[in-house]
Structure 1
Amino acid sequence: MMNGAAASDSQGKCPFMEQEGWDFTNPDLLEQGIPIAEFAELRKTAPVWWNEQAPGKGGGFHDGGYWVISRHKDIRDISKNAADWSTAENGAIIRFEDDMSQDQIDVTKAILINQDPPEHTQKRKIVSRAFTPKAVGALEEKLDASARRIVKAAAESGKGDFVHQVAVDLPLEAIADLLGVPEADRVKLFDWSNSMMNADDPEFTTDPMTASAEILGYGYNMAEARRKCPADDIVTTLVNADVDGHALDEAEFGFFFILLTVAGNETTRNAITHGMNAFLDNPDQWELFKKERPATAIDEIVRWATPVNVFQRTAKNDVEIDGQLIKKGQRVGLFYGSANFDEDVFDDPYTFNIMRDPNPHLGFGGNGTHFCVGANLARMEISLMFNALADLVPDITKLEQPRRLRHGWINGIKELQVDYGVK
């Protein structure tokens, strides 16, 4: 999962800070793993560090760079402070393709994660209805049966790719059920969301804008069908939503649909895969989990995985952090992949410890306005899947090191070859 490159030379200098073209959102970086050594050096010596980006190398932005925020405390504080920090101005996504235009980036501002209060607060209330503890709890029995069916089917193959045989299906099934997507269409939804999110990786060849249009078109068709024939699903809720007397327009509905499709699929899948890889690298923890099934394991998996390495905010005013002035209009990267290994917050942070308690990780985006609306569902899915794995394939082993996703901000795994250990 992690990149163990040396953080500094023998004189205590930090080579990457002087390296021309260094960028914490460079897709090549996360393909090697979260840069833990570099983040550790930043937390110690430059917790607010200017990451310069050359013209044309700003991941779609053209403002010269952004500030890297590496400490847990600072990221948590910024996440809670909507008065000084905006998501809407430049969006939460810190990197797009280098040739993406400002007009194309601006289109994404209709997505909920790219909005500020009070607009964000009003619209979040709509989708939150589907993720209340009661609503999520109602899915548990069905998802538990699905997790066991998925693992049993994978076990029957003897060995194979854990990502596609196990990790993919449960998150996709959960969100598809909530949306009301028929089973026959779920593979299309998975392929489109992969293409949208993984444009930086050469293995994904479908144009992300084409994939986005496909998801939007599918969502619009579902919306039209639900207007004629309502069902007990999120799409019906959205098409009948009322925000202070105003219905969602077509674009607002479409971006809700995209957000739920992608966010409900990509992040939990990667958390499950990283979690399994961590257990396979730490067999004592796997034995402990099989024996004790501690509730604390789920948050440790999320902390360790940190499926989203970074989101961004933009300063609405001149703000000082740790003695560093950040000017109005400048972007900051909230690097959860650094915060979740902050030595000031976590004892022995580089040890995978499923008994860790407390565990104030920021794997769900920190506390505040944009805390992940689906956190309860994600925790349930992870819990159900690892309980099924422990019961049905307790002797699972790793055959090869995982192949990681090339991406600017998603900490993903594309492939994890395993032997399910079933005789």
Structure 2
Amino acid sequence: MTASPAAPAIPAGFDPTDPDLCQTGVPLDQFAELRRTAPVWWVEQSPESRAGFNGEGFWAISKHADVAAVSKNSKDFSSQENGAIIRFAPDMTREQVELQGIMLINQDPPDHTKIRQIISRGFTPRSINAQHDVLVQRANNIVDEAIAKGSGDFVNEVASELPLQAIADLMGVPQEDRGKLFDWSNTMMSFDDPDFEGNPDEAAAEILVYAMGLAEERRKNPQDDIITKLITADVDGHGQLGEDEFGYFVIMLAVAGNETTRNAITHGMNAFFQHPDQWELWKSERPSTMVDEVIRWATPVTTFQRTAINDVMVGDVEVKKGERVGLYYASANHDEEVFTDPNTFDITRSPNPHLSFGGHGAHYCIGANLARLEVEIMFNTLADRLPDIKQLGEAKRLRHGWINGIKELPVQYV
């Protein structure tokens, strides 16, 4: 493999999916150097870090323009070939990777187009807007419980609760079952972190069994919820999700709707602690630009991958057919050519063309509007009800290769 020119400030063996590296923080300094000297950089991986994939590494794409271009290019890049996830557990097999092709994020047209059209029924602006008042009430209830505690862990007691309750409302899942979704998704996503116990495969199987039970119940007793919309035929001829497709959709929603929004809210609160002037500005003026700056700053998913299905130029580098590329949203969101003072947390930033929702191609996050609504409601509620919230200890980061996660943030609520 012929790599792009060496970047002098990049250490030998640099792999931005290394969970030990990511546990210390997103490597923004290294990404800045890559954008400057080698925006398409070959990452050579050890056998355990490329488990389940063909080839010996991948191209790290760090510039905003290149990440956006590849995101939109379904003609030359595939999500199905190797899936969208760039790093798995060391014991992941090729067969297991291929089995995940049924999940929406791992599909290409026409399958992706068909499934996305069906799933979109549950994420229309009308469906999302209908949740506003309920989510406001839920956010107030969450804060009530936090106030009663006095102090605690912001992640589990505040940040995780609104996304989980929103998912439960959206799908018609009993609220008492939201804890199961939280535990299962944590187990699935935290295989690299020694603080979490459990078997990711078993957790995925639990969600699948649970989803099948939900589907069977809705077939017998249809309701006005997303489950019924997804599993029943529609007069417009778009069809319905099969049993496996629905099960993997529930897995995707439990992970994407829980992990990502939870981490956006947590990173946002942590950023406000680190930038108290911005917290004062938010409390007094409530700029509408806050939400996208929190999401840019957090970039909960640092990267997804694509696989070249043709020889194609990315920047000045030819990516060969069959080679993987890592789309580094975290780097793109700090590109100096796009963002003024990108390392500054500025809730008045405008414009803010961040790529935290996966660029603007076929795989743009289907739940983006719901995520924005949850972030806005949660920080409005916190500013109204907990204006003097204080940090009691350092944020404890998740050990993970592509999730920018915080697993603990000690705070004083009152």
TM bucket (normalised to shorter chain) is: over 0.9
Q: Counterparts of 1:49 and 1:70 in 2: how far apart (Å)?
A: 8
Q: Counterparts of 1:139 and 1:356 in 2: how far apart (Å)?
A: 27
TM-score by length of 1: 0.94
- RMSD between aligned alpha carbons? 1.3
The 1:112/1:321 distance shift into structure 2, 3 A limit, reads: same
CA contact (8 A) 1:55 1:62 kept: no
| Number of the residue aligned with 2:260 | 267
Give CA deviations for 1:225-255 in whole Å, capped at 9, x if unaligned: 1111111111111211469665432211111
- Note the residue ranges of structure 1 that are not aligned, 5 or more in a row: 1-11
| Number of the residue aligned with 2:347 | 354
**AA aligned opposite 1:236:** T
CA contact (8 A) 2:10 2:30 kept: no
| Number of the residue aligned with 1:364 | 357
Q: By how many angstroms is 1:15 displaced?
A: 4.0
| Number of the residue aligned with 2:9 | 14
The 1:354/1:231 distance shift into structure 2, 3 A limit, reads: same
Q: By how many angstroms is 1:209 displaced?
A: 0.2
Of 105, 118, 131, the match for 2:110: 118
- 2:408 matches 1:400: no
Residue 195 of structure 2 aligns to a residue whose secondary structure is coil
Q: Counterparts of 1:234 and 1:261 in 2: how far apart (Å)?
A: 14
| Number of the residue aligned with 2:145 | 153
Q: Counterparts of 1:260 and 1:322 in 2: how far apart (Å)?
A: 34
Map 1:145-224 to 2 at 5 A.
145-224=137-216
Map 1:263-342 to 2 at 5 A.
263-342=256-335
Q: Counterparts of 1:248 and 1:158 in 2: how far apart (Å)?
A: 45
Q: By how many angstroms is 1:43 displaced?
A: 0.1
**AA aligned opposite 1:82:** S
Residue 187 of structure 1 aligns to a residue whose secondary structure is helix
Q: Counterparts of 1:61 and 1:326 in 2: how far apart (Å)?
A: 17
| Number of the residue aligned with 1:345 | 338
Q: By how many angstroms is 1:13 displaced?
A: 2.3
Q: Counterparts of 2:24 and 2:52 in 1: how far apart (Å)?
A: 22
The 1:335/1:417 distance shift into structure 2, 3 A limit, reads: same
- Note the residue ranges of structure 2 that are not aligned, 5 or more in a row: 1-6
Give CA deviations for 1:7-51 in whole Å, capped at 9, x if unaligned: xxxxx82241xx23x311111111111000000000000000000
CA contact (8 A) 2:77 2:306 kept: yes
Of 29, 39, 43, the match for 1:47: 39
Q: Counterparts of 1:247 and 1:351 in 2: how far apart (Å)?
A: 45
CA contact (8 A) 1:56 1:62 kept: no
Of 208, 221, 225, the match for 2:217: 225
CA contact (8 A) 2:293 2:352 kept: yes
Q: Counterparts of 2:395 and 2:185 in 1: how far apart (Å)?
A: 21
The 1:270/1:319 distance shift into structure 2, 3 A limit, reads: same
Residue 185 of structure 2 aligns to a residue whose secondary structure is helix
| Number of the residue aligned with 1:71 | 63
Q: Counterparts of 2:207 and 2:219 in 1: how far apart (Å)?
A: 18
Q: Counterparts of 2:357 and 2:238 in 1: how far apart (Å)?
A: 31
Q: Counterparts of 1:47 and 1:310 in 2: how far apart (Å)?
A: 15
Of 378, 381, 384, the match for 1:388: 381
Residue 356 of structure 2 aligns to a residue whose secondary structure is coil
CA contact (8 A) 1:171 1:268 kept: yes
Q: Counterparts of 1:255 and 1:167 in 2: how far apart (Å)?
A: 24
Q: Counterparts of 1:72 and 1:381 in 2: how far apart (Å)?
A: 26
Q: Counterparts of 2:30 and 2:116 in 1: how far apart (Å)?
A: 35
CA contact (8 A) 2:81 2:307 kept: yes
- Percent identity between matched residues is 58
Q: Which deviates more from structure 2 when the two are superposed, residues 126-135 or residues 31-40?
A: 126-135
Q: By how many angstroms is 1:275 displaced?
A: 0.1
Map 1:55-134 to 2 at 5 A.
55-134=47-126
Give CA deviations for 1:354-381 in whole Å, capped at 9, x if unaligned: 0000000001111110110001100000
Residue 50 of structure 1 aligns to a residue whose secondary structure is strand
Residue 92 of structure 2 aligns to a residue whose secondary structure is coil
CA contact (8 A) 2:232 2:239 kept: no
CA contact (8 A) 1:126 1:241 kept: no
The 1:15/1:364 distance shift into structure 2, 3 A limit, reads: closer
CA contact (8 A) 2:21 2:27 kept: yes
Q: Counterparts of 2:307 and 2:355 in 1: how far apart (Å)?
A: 19
Q: By how many angstroms is 1:59 displaced?
A: 4.0
Residue 82 of structure 2 aligns to a residue whose secondary structure is coil
Q: Counterparts of 1:318 and 1:13 in 2: how far apart (Å)?
A: 28
| Number of the residue aligned with 2:27 | 35
Q: By how many angstroms is 1:385 displaced?
A: 0.2
Q: Counterparts of 1:29 and 1:272 in 2: how far apart (Å)?
A: 22
CA contact (8 A) 1:306 1:363 kept: yes
Q: Counterparts of 1:91 and 1:193 in 2: how far apart (Å)?
A: 19
Of 366, 369, 393, the match for 1:373: 366
**AA aligned opposite 1:339:** A
Q: By how many angstroms is 1:164 displaced?
A: 0.8
